[in-house]
Chains A and B, each alone.
Chain A
Amino acid sequence: MAGIIELERVSKHYTKSIIGVDDVSLSIEDGEFVTLLGPSGCGKSTLLRMIGGFEQPTHGRIFLAGKDVTWEPPHRRDVNMVFQDYALFPHMTVGQNIAYGLKMLGVGRAERDAAVVEVLRLVGLPDKIDQMPHQLSGGQRQRIALARAIVRKPKVLLLDEPLSALDARMRDQMRMEMKHLHDKVGITFVMVTHDQEEALTMSDRVVVMESGRVAQDGRPQDIYDHPASPYVANFIGTTNFLPGGVVAADGGTAKVAVSGIELTALTDRPQRAGDVVTVGFRPEKLRVVPPEAACGNILSGRVSEVVYYGLGLRTALELDGGETIYVDSLLPDSLARSGLPPLGSRLAVAVEPHNVFVFPGGGAP
């Protein structure tokens, strides 16, 4: 079965050299919560706006529930958008804002009023119906914008950086609320964000974008644990990168020489001995071990900097081979009592083979 949204080789070329979206094909299933993730300028917002009908692709087609809507204006598409600045009509009350879309559908007054009351209860603001938007807090405006969009029961709800205007505490709370709302209403959500944490915590599926193209498309944990490229590994979470060369390869495992030692890695892609590769591993997957530990995959060096960040420590370790890597460790009680590792002291860390990424080619992002 085809998805509720089908993007068929969609591109948006502003000029010959300035390309917003470059040959993106994407299929979104009914009821999914999909996030388009990437830095600013990667084309994610343009893609969302093309689904909404605010911009037209220069190539390719867009299907909504099997119907070609590429050239339909926004008011003739069964999708609704939550804007980054919420775009609540300042001259209308909350109730009028929410009823607006229903009025345009030709829904009768009584039915409209009932729907407004119901959706306000759903977003937890039943008593704000007669207030003006400027009387609301940021979080409340956000919920009204959501209510105004979902009251029309669209096939797809588009969310353009919906949490970026909120402060950190409010953002955390709204993340959970929006996820619950998605489960409750069963509408397909397509969200755009540059915040990787938002993408990982809220969505069923994350589409990472890089300069107008899809860099990786998958479940949050797949993207985090099996990044397709150094770009993805670096954009989502933090990754240590070291240049290396494959020494020996055997099916799913490879031995890679890095920084004067050999690391064993379980790899997604088959490797060949002699290949130049970039090895990556995440700071929090490193485990501090006694220097004389007998297990493999050990990197050792000198502590060059220690940063305390509340939840744990980030230690910069200057390897014997010369490179610097970061090691994150949760702060155990014992360490808190004994104090931070002194600068210049020797430290050894180990990494499990399945936590080592091997990317073809040299050069970290």
Chain B
Amino acid sequence: MTRTSGLAARLRPAAEHAAVPEQRRQRAAPGLVSRYAADTAFMTFVALLMAFLYIPIWVLIAFSFSDSRSLTWPITGFSLQWYEKLFSNADLLKAIGNSFYVATLATALTLVVGVVAAIALHRFNFIGKTLFRRLVLLPITLPGIVTGISMLNLFKLIGFNLSLETVIFGHATALIGVVVTQVYARLQRLPKSLEEASSDLGASPLRTFFHVTLPNIRSAIIGAGLLAFVLSFDEIPVTFFLTGRDNTLPMYIYSTLRRGVTPEINAVGTLIVLMSLVLIVISVIATRDRTSR
């Protein structure tokens, strides 16, 4: 008897189900009106949050086309003069080149170390593994300034001259955590049996890695690499302490800001937003799993 009533309850249409015990319905299923009100409130909130996040970026872009030197609203006229200035500013162009150099090498370095560290965490059990994991992930939460200063101490102590190369090592250290989290998460989702099957079919551990593991974590590596690239490209605190005479782009902007703001910075900013947008699109396309299981 009880079984049939339970089954019947499950077969009953949802509306009827909700209508059964009177005093329960009032508390469990809020009326349509209040639900509608809640949805409206949520959507308004989301719209406001989006405005908070994106109005500033539009403001940044808008002022880059201003014909005035001061950043006063409303914009009085349209001009491309700040972009012209930008492309004739040799220091700025040099800084952009430096940033590409640093970001590319730092990404390559951090990917090698980070992927290897993720595999070590995934594959091996060893004494001090928890400490190892914490240390690898520490730079994610550790303010860049600590990484920057401690590495500055190291380089000074061993007599290394500060240069773009020291910045590269600094960035690679600060970004390992980003790579490890993403690659490790993907490795964890990879069934253990895939690597076992490869080994079972006669592949040595090295061949298993290149033929089976790597292709299956490739999109995670690409995604982590793109993010690391962007973060390195924009990095300030570590760069601040580890760079020599050469400036990266954010350091150049930083020093310009000391002298006062001009729409030229907005023009650079607009280009950076554009580049970020392109990289986001690439990352979305590249990390999409083609073989969705």
Contact = CB atoms under 8 A, between A and B. Distances in A.
A89 interface: yes
B292 A73 contact: no
Contact of A105 (B198, B202, B208, B293): B202
Given A100-B211, A104-B207, A134-B291, A91 B200 contact: no
B283 interface: no
Interface in B181-211: 191, 193-194, 196-204, 207-208, 211
A133 B292 CA distance: 11
A104 B201 contact: yes
A52 B193 CA distance: 12
Contacts of A87: 191, 193-194, 196-197
Interface string B233-268: 000000000000000000000000000000000000
B197 A90 contact: no
Interface magnitude class on chain A? 20 to 34
B222 to A, nearest CB: 14
A291 to B, nearest CB: 33
A251 B115 CA distance: 71
A4 interface: no
Contact of A104 (B194, B203, B216, B293): B203
A91 B190 CA distance: 12
Contact of B193 (A83, A100, A101): A83
Interface in A71-121: 73-75, 79-81, 83-85, 87-91, 100-101, 104-105
Contacts of B199: 53-54, 73-75
A75 B212 contact: no
Contacts of B200: 52-54, 74-75, 79-81, 149
Contacts of A73: 199
Contact of A83 (B197, B207, B211, B212): B197
A75 B201 CA distance: 6
B76 to A, nearest CB: 57
**Most chain-A Cβ atoms within 10 A of its Cβ — which of B194, B201, B212, B291?**
B201
Given A83-B197, A87-B191, 5 more contacts: A54-B196, A75-B208, A79-B200, A91-B215, A105-B202
- A-B CB proximity, top 4 nearest: A101-B201, A104-B202, A87-B193, A87-B197
Interface of B: 191, 193-194, 196-204, 207-208, 211-212, 215-216, 291-293
22 contacts: A52-B200, A73-B199, A74-B200, A75-B201, A75-B203, A80-B201, A84-B193, A87-B193, A87-B197, A88-B197, A89-B194, A89-B212, A90-B194, A90-B216, A90-B293, A100-B198, A100-B203, A104-B201, A104-B207, A105-B202, A134-B292, A148-B201
